[in-house]
Structure 1
Amino acid sequence: MEDLSPLQAFRRVCNLRMLAGVYYFCLLYAISRALTWYGEGDGGLTDALFDLIRFSRQCLLTGISLLVMVGLAEAVLAGRRWKLPAALTVQAGAVAFGAALGTWLRYAVSSMGDPSNKVKPGWVISTISLWALLGGIAYALLLVGRAQRQGRDELTRLFREREALKTQQTEAQLSALNAQIEPHFLFNTLANVKRLYETQPERGRNMLVALIAYLRAALPGMRRHESTLADELELVRHYLAILQMRMGERL
């Protein structure tokens, strides 16, 4: 769960992007209703445009009311461990109150300059029900999308952690293998140098020179966690040179 302050949770819902989405939805809804009225009514195009503007304004009032109430609900729920029934109650209450507030604002604006405009209970109930349904669906889609995004982020984080652990495990295994191989290789090489100095001094000197070159290439890498490809190739070249001297034609 994301740890957000109430203000951050509110701004995550009430921002320009969400406001633009509400505006375009209300505009499309108003256009669909205006087209219906234009086909059924006797008025002309001017009346249809006036109805479109009026209904768009009313829808936008309801949409903004719902958006603000959802933002307030998110602010209330932010940073607290709410049980699911309590959280659902807050969210449903915010949607219902937002729909009711938007309906009241629509009636208040439409009644300006027309005192004879009386509120009809059927219109109030149907408007609140419709916008509560639309707001509930939009809120549910918002929560589902957020949960999916958080799930993807969590999977990405776990995948990266697993890859990091694999890398660390591989490095640890290589370090352990080097710790086992290098002393054995070093002691065997020194034993060969001692034996060759007793029997073939020239070959003994050559092997000692190759061993010194190998150690010069290997020791700096032991103090670093990373090495370049050129360093590794140089180390392998000296290693193979020593093995060639030790094993002769068998290598």
Structure 2
Amino acid sequence: MTTQDRPFDPTHTLVLTTSGDATAEASATAAAVGAVLDHADAVTLHLDPGALASDHPELAEQLRAAAEQVDDGVLRASVDRVREPLAALLDLTDVHRFVTLERLDASRDGRRLLHYVPDHTTFEVDATAAEGVVDAVSRAVADEPAGLLPTAVLADWYADGTRYELAPPSLCVDGATCFGLGALDRVAFDDAARTVRLTWATGDGLLATAGELLGPNRPERFEFDSPNRYADVADAFETVADALEVEKAGRR
């Protein structure tokens, strides 16, 4: 069974709070990938070296030389051989970082510990595949606009007949619409009124504006009758706020 065939059950996900800033996103993800590679021995790249060569011929050649082509558009290499040119690729802020590089998987002893899809900002880690990898990634992004959170459902609840699920990297509504937690700007807690209030970043540019006008509204206020349910949801949002360094009000 190859690395690609093995089941992958991620335990953590990286949430970016860059608001579409390509430079900041490149810095954060490069730091996170680098931390994972410290615990990996092989990488598989879904990459188009020809497209990369159109703007970065030297880098494309370095990647070709460091890796073995195992399928059309799929390269595999040991971490030691590919680390330097891969770091250069991840530092790019043009389209090649998230279009030419379609996917990156890192493994250790044949077991996958990272699944990264740049164009979808999907960055998932399996903490059980390598001891210490989650702590390493968390440290690596401590000064970056990003945070590592469990992929588990942190809290779920009903309000006015609508089901909400706080499951990084998103807050989902009725299992149909999900809002990325990277846009969370502030969380306010009112323990006395058992209320959680959310403030979201509006984003920049035409696409962000169109999405806000055409799409469903992001949830902004939750009020709970049950003190236990409020405590569970508030604790979950506090976990998210701490990991993403989101402003908090009304709690420690």
TM-score, with normalisation over the residues of structure 2? 0.24
More helix by share: 1
Higher strand share: 2
